[in-house]
């Protein structure tokens, strides 16, 4: 038995008594020169090593994203997609959309049964849930345009983690155990198939190391063509998935102008469609701006009402109008028009709750633990990077590419499978977010950079599905309106309204001191949740130093810098 265990260890998990890499996460710190906030200490450390070697924020982000694909497998990925918002030290801004796309063989009703009902699980688990991955193409594009250190060098830390092994965090072990049965359902084996993974377990991922080496040698082609593409297509064919070699070869990331919104001396820069994040954040900021939230006080009845009603209205518009602007005429300018947004709040009254029956789009349920990655980086020159990437659910579709060693996303669930039927985040959508071949599914990811009086002020973002946008808004307001220090602003309990269902989700400690009762009397409905989005942010302090804050909601969240 012991021999068998030893053999298993050799094959699957390293069993050295001394862990190769040890780590402790730290949630906040202030640095003089450069700072990184992210979801895992080994990844933040990787980024800081690149910065110390003279790499810029993009170089650090490249190394960190690949490192996360190894050490943070529940969300770090090469089989998913994401978004970059970038602000150069000279103030120039850019965003990069490397969201997944629907395969060419996808169709509007692909998740409906013969009676026209959505088939439970088809868009969330298994091969049919997978969108064409964008992550590797996105990272290659950002490196090509903005990176300075050699590509191969930036891949090496991830390859080392995958090939030589690293110690799993307690929270990852916990999560891996929870999804063990799912892995078995869709995979013959994974590096995580050992259900006895215990504290201190080390894991090696040789197939993933080989995939990363192919990417190291051939750039994006090491993923979208050749052996890796063959492995992805073979995996698809083995499980009834749709992605073909042509889908992979055709994948292209897209450079875009960020959404911008001025707010009382600040400027928010965030992600345009195919994410809803930037538009909804800007709409909410504009709707709450006329109200003296600072005077009302943090999570006072009045503050919560104003913010929740702005959320309700922004998410109503999201459901009607937002989707991939390449496929649907998303009326971004109208949605962000100041007069339109002031008008949106015209029917708001302090003496009663609004309703999502009367609040519909303007004229122009949480089923599992969710996970995504967000990284916020400021380098020594003042370049700032805000990146959110995801597989969607934990370990995405739970399908690992056989021989490739990486999980594939279940991002297809972010489309509206049928008008009015909620996805796994309870979000509804219509025509704007219907499935079409080659189209990007609507996201809520909100990588954001904030300027104050023209200077870099904050880099912020989060995982958390539909709650990402409202968490970014509240954390910003906690600093800008309620005068909190960044770590306090990140940790503060939050609430969330997304139009439908017509209820305010609130974290256990939120809405304290009778506020919940007062709002209930006004007609609001509530649902308590353990926690929502998980913010990672960096703020430039008045003396120029960098205050980084990760979120106590995720044990592995970490900040590093120098």
Site residues (vs ligand DON, CB under 6 A): 370-372, 390, 392, 411, 414, 443-445, 463-465, 468
347 and 354 Cβ atoms separated by less than 8 Å: yes
CA distance linking residue 274 with residue 418, whole number of Å: 19
**Residue 443 is labelled as binding a ligand:** yes
Residues across the chain: 562
Helix ranges restricted to H, 336-467? 338-344
113 and 119 Cβ atoms separated by less than 8 Å: yes
SS3 507: strand
Residues 6+ apart with CB under 8 A from 27: 487, 491, 549, 550, 551, 552, 557, 558, 559
Residues 6+ apart with CB under 8 A from 70: 76, 158, 161, 162, 166, 205, 208, 212
Phi-psi region of 424 (alpha: psi -120 to 50; beta: other; left: phi over 0): alpha
CA distance linking residue 160 with residue 67, whole number of Å: 9
**Residue 112 is labelled as binding a ligand:** no
Closer residue to ligand DON in complex, CB, 251/482: 251
| CB 500 to ligand DON: min, Å | 16
| CB 371 to ligand DON: min, Å | 5
Closer residue to ligand DON in complex, CB, 75/301: 75
- Catalytic residue selected from 372, 388, 446, 470: 372
| CB 318 to ligand DON: min, Å | 11
| CB 443 to ligand DON: min, Å | 3
Closer residue to ligand DON in complex, CB, 296/425: 425
Phi-psi region of 348 (alpha: psi -120 to 50; beta: other; left: phi over 0): beta
77 and 407 Cβ atoms separated by less than 8 Å: yes
Closer residue to ligand DON in complex, CB, 411/507: 411
**Residue 99 is labelled as binding a ligand:** yes
**Residue 194 is labelled as binding a ligand:** no
SS3 225: coil
Closer residue to ligand DON in complex, CB, 207/371: 371
Query: Parallel, antiparallel, or unpaired: how do β-strands 384-390 and 166-167 relate?
Result: unpaired
SS3 214: helix
| CB 40 to ligand DON: min, Å | 14
**Residue 465 is labelled as binding a ligand:** yes
Judged on CB neighbours under 10 Å (0-12, 13-18, 19+), 502 is middle
Closer residue to ligand DON in complex, CB, 386/547: 386
Residue 421 is encoded by which pair of tokens? 């039927």
Verify whether residue 190 is a known catalytic residue: no
CB atoms under 10 Å from CB of 6, counted, come to: 11
**Residue 444 is labelled as binding a ligand:** yes
67 and 43 Cβ atoms separated by less than 8 Å: yes
| CB 244 to ligand DON: min, Å | 23
Binding residue ranges for L-glutamate: 99, 390-392, 414, 443-444, 465
Q: Which residues are catalytic?
A: 372
Which amino acids are annotated as binding site, given as ranges? 99, 390-392, 414, 443-444, 465
């Amino acid at each position: 038995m012991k021999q068998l265990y030893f053999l298993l260890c050799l094959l699957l998990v390293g069993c050295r008594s001394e862990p190769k890499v040890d780590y402790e996460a730290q949630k906040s710190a202030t640095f003089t020169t450069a700072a990184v906030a992210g979801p895992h200490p080994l990844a933040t450390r990787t980024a800081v090593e690149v910065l110390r070697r003279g790499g810029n924020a993009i170089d650090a982000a490249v190394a960190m994203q690949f490192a996360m694909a190894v050490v943070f497998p529940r969300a770090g990925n090469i089989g998913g997609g994401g978004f970059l918002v970038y602000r150069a030290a000279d103030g120039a801004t850019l965003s990069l959309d490397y969201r997944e796309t629907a395969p060419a063989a996808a169709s509007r009703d692909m998740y409906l049964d013969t009676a026209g009902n959505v088939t439970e699980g088809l868009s969330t688990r298994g091969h049919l849930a997978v969108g064409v991955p964008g992550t590797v193409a996105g990272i290659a594009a950002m490196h090509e345009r903005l990176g300075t250190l050699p590509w191969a060098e930036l891949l090496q830390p991830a390859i080392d983690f995958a090939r030589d092994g690293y110690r799993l965090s307690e929270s990852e072990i916990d999560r891996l155990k929870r999804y063990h049965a799912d892995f078995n359902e869709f995979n013959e084996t994974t590096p995580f198939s050992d259900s006895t993974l215990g504290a201190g377990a080390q894991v090696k991922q040789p197939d993933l190391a080989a995939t990363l080496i192919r990417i190291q040698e051939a750039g994006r082609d090491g993923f979208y063509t050749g052996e890796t593409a063959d492995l992805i297509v073979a995996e698809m064919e083995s499980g009834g998935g749709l992605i073909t070699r042509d889908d992979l070869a055709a994948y292209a990331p897209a450079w875009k102008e960020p959404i911008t919104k001025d707010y009382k001396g600040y400027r928010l820069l965030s992600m345009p469609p195919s994410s809803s994040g930037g538009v909804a954040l800007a709409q909410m900021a504009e709707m709450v701006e006329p109200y003296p939230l600072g005077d009302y006080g943090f999570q006072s009845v009045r503050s919560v009402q104003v913010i929740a009603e702005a959320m309700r209205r922004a998410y109503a518009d999201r459901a009607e109008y937002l989707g991939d602007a390449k496929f649907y005429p998303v009326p971004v300018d109208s949605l962000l028009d100041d007069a339109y947004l002031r008008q949106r709040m015209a029917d708001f009254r302090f003496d009663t709750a609004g309703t999502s029956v009367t609040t519909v789009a303007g004229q122009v349920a949480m089923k599992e633990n969710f996970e995504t990655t967000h990284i916020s980086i400021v380098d020594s020159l003042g370049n700032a990077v805000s990146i959110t990437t995801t597989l969607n659910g934990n370990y995405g579709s739970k399908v690992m590419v056989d021989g490739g060693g990486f999980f594939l996303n279940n991002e297809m669930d972010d489309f509206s499978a049928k008008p009015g039927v909620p996805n796994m985040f309870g979000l509804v959508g219509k025509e704007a977010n219907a499935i079409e071949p080659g189209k990007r599914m609507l996201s809520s990811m909100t990588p954001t950079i904030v300027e104050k009086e023209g200077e870099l002020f904050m880099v912020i973002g989060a995982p958390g599905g539909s709650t990402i946008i409202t968490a970014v808004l509240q954390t910003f307001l906690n600093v800008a309106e309620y005068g909190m220090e960044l770590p306090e602003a990140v940790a503060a309990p939050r609430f969330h309204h997304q139009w439908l269902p017509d209820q305010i989700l609130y974290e256990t400690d939120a809405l304290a001191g009778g506020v919940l009762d007062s709002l209930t009397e006004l007609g609001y409905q509530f649902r308590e949740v353990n926690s929502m989005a998980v913010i990672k942010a960096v703020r430039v302090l008045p003396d120029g130093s960098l205050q980084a804050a990760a979120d106590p909601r995720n044990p592995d969240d970490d900040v590093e810098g120098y």
